[in-house]
Every structure is written in C-alpha cells, then in structure tokens.
C-alpha cells in the first residue's frame, strides 16, 4: 500500500509539473495564448517562434494563415502570436510601430520593440526557451517589425522571416550581432512592392535592397548566389519561387536569403508545406 501511495504521488507530481506552466501570458495588452508542443519538457530547451501579424490583422488570424500552431508538435517549438495596439482613431486598426513607412499612421509614441522584447523575456521566464533559437516570423507590417527587432535586439534574436515586409530605409551602422535573415516577397505585390515604394510619403527599400543591406551588416559578400527553386504559393504552377542566397563571407549566424515568389501577391495562397519550410529554415539558422 505504501508503494502504491508513493507511486501515485510521484505520478501526480509529474502531471502537475507538466501542466504547471501558464498556457497564456499577459503583459498589459490582453491575454496571449501560448502554443506548447505535446513533448515539451522543462529539461529540454525548446525553440521559440514569435509570430507578428500584418496591419489590420491579429495574432490568431496570422496563425491560421501561416498554420504554425498546427505543426508545433511536429517540430517541438513554443509559439506566441501577440497583437499590436489599436490605432487611436479612424478604423482603430491593429498595427506595429515598426518603421517610418509602416505602420504608425497616427504618430503615437508606442514602443513595440520594448513590448516584444518583454514578451520574449516572459516566455523565457515561464518556459525553458533555447537562447540560441529565438525566432520571429512577420507578415507585412509584422515583417517590418521583425526587421526592427532584429536590428535593435540582435543579442536576442537568432533569425527572422519577413513575408512582404521591408527593412528601414536610412543608412545605419551594423547591429552589434549578426542575425540570420529570410525575406519572402511576391514580385506582383501591389501593397508592399517588391521594387520598393512609399507609404504616405515615407519610402521603404526593395526586397533586394533589404537583403543586400543585411548582407552588408553581416559581412557577407555582396553577390548572392541562386539556389534550388521552392513551392510556396499553391495558386501558382510548379516551383514558382526563386532563391537568392548570401552565405559567402558572412559572420557566423548571419546568413541572408531572398525567396522571390514569381507573380506572387501580398497575401500568397500558401502551400501545404509553407509553414514547415519556414520552420526548417529557421532551425538551420540558430545563433552560433
């Protein structure tokens, strides 16, 4: 009987440990659900992906589009998809204060960079997050915000994926640490143009200009090389996406790639393997 009681107690403590973590966090902007993989253990550091939505969108909508929480168990990563603040006027759209071009249209003083850093640090306090595998994925305005995070928090971020976002335009010194960069962009994007353009008088760089800037930051050779084509957009035939890779000469942890979706739009019809391709690329690019 004593053995049975001790066994039951041990099992109960194990179960309590498994469910002792909050399945959401709240840093003053409302409750944020956290996706925790089934195989998560406090004893094993887990990658963290922070998903940043586009202008007018939300974390849950972006997750449904990208399909990341659906594959968290397959790849054993933690996922949080925070929401930007709502605009103080107009349609009160959610946004990120990412760059001069996108998308703080009411000129608020909100510090989304500090907020997202606090989200990461809260996740590190609650879970066993692998410090070498903290990643951001952002769409549009979320892509712009991912670049801001990479630049301002290069000590923390291992890699970002920006879909239809862009870097800051102005010249700056390189960040203190290299960050792996993946830019994905449709060549027929009419919202955030592949060739670069402006929003309300504020310019943003082209997709090529964005990756070239980060290749320079990371010490890579200026000339990228083509690689195998990929299938990212289910609405387009074949392997429609060309890959330009900057790896030669890069500092450790500073690879840069551009995936150009030929005839792709601002919101591609993502393929069944789209999310998996992003996660696998991120996993190949931890901090050194």
163 contacts 182 by C-beta, under 8 angstroms: no
In a domain, 238, yes or no: yes
In a domain, 5, yes or no: no
Q: DSSP assignment of 22-76, as one string? A: -SEEESSS-EEEEE--TT--TTS-EEEEEEEPPTT--HHHHHHHHT-GGGHHHHT
User: Residue 16: what pLDDT?
Assistant: 35
- Is the alpha carbon torsion for 46, 67, 231, 218 positive or negative? negative
In a domain, 17, yes or no: no
pLDDT at 9 over 80: no
pLDDT at 176 over 60: yes
Please compute Rg for the chain using Cα positions: 20
Domain that holds residue 59: 25-283
User: Residue 12: what pLDDT?
Assistant: 38
In a domain, 36, yes or no: yes
Closest by CA to 124, choosing from 97, 99, 145, 153, is: 153
User: Residue 4: what pLDDT?
Assistant: 35
Confidence of residue 198 (pLDDT cuts 50, 70, 90): very high
Q: What is the mean pLDDT of residues 97-110?
A: 97
In a domain, 4, yes or no: no
State the CATH number of the domain containing residue 206: 3.40.50.1820
Share of the chain above pLDDT 90, in %: 88
In a domain, 20, yes or no: no
146 contacts 171 by C-beta, under 8 angstroms: no
Domain count, the chain: 1
In a domain, 18, yes or no: no
Confidence of residue 5 (pLDDT cuts 50, 70, 90): very low
Q: Which of the pair, 26 or 153, is modelled with greater confidence?
A: 153
In sequence order, the β-bridge partners of residue 241 are 230, 261
pLDDT at 6 over 90: no
* Spatial separation of the C-alpha atoms in residues 30 and 157, rounded to whole Å: 24
Q: What is the mean pLDDT of residues 90-118?
A: 97
In a domain, 169, yes or no: yes
Confidence of residue 14 (pLDDT cuts 50, 70, 90): very low
Average pLDDT over the chain, rounded to an integer: 92
In sequence order, the β-bridge partners of residue 57 are none
């Amino acid at each position: 009987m004593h053995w049975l009681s001790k066994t039951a107690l041990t099992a109960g403590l194990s179960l309590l440990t498994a469910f002792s973590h909050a399945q959401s966090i709240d840093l003053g902007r409302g409750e944020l659900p956290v996706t925790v993989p089934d195989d998560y253990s406090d004893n094993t550091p887990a990658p963290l992906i922070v998903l940043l939505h586009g202008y007018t969108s939300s974390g849950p909508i972006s997750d449904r589009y990208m399909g990341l929480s659906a594959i968290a168990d397959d790849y054993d990563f933690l996922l949080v998809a925070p929401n930007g603040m709502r605009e103080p006027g107009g349609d009160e759209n959610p946004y990120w204060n990412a760059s001069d071009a996108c998308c703080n249209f009411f000129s608020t003083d909100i510090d989304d960079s500090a907020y997202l850093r606090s989200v990461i640090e809260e996740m590190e306090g609650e879970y066993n997050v692998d410090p070498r595998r903290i990643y951001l994925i952002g769409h549009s305005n979320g892509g712009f915000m991912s670049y801001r995070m990479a630049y301002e928090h290069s000590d923390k971020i291992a890699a970002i994926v920006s879909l239809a976002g862009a870097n800051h335009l102005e010249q700056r010194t390189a960040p203190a640490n290299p960050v792996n960069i993946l830019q994905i962009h449709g060549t027929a994007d009419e919202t955030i143009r592949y060739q670069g353009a402006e929003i309300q008088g504020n310019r943003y760089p082209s997709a090529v200009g964005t990756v070239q800037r980060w290749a320079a930051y990371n010490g890579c050779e200026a000339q990228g090389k083509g690689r195998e084509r990929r299938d990212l957009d289910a609405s387009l035939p074949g392997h429609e996406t060309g890959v330009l890779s900057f790896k030669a000469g890069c500092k450790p942890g500073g690879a840069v790639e551009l995936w150009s979706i030929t005839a792709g739009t601002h919101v591609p019809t993502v393929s069944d393997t789209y999310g998996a391709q992003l996660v696998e690329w991120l996993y190949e690019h931890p901090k050194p």
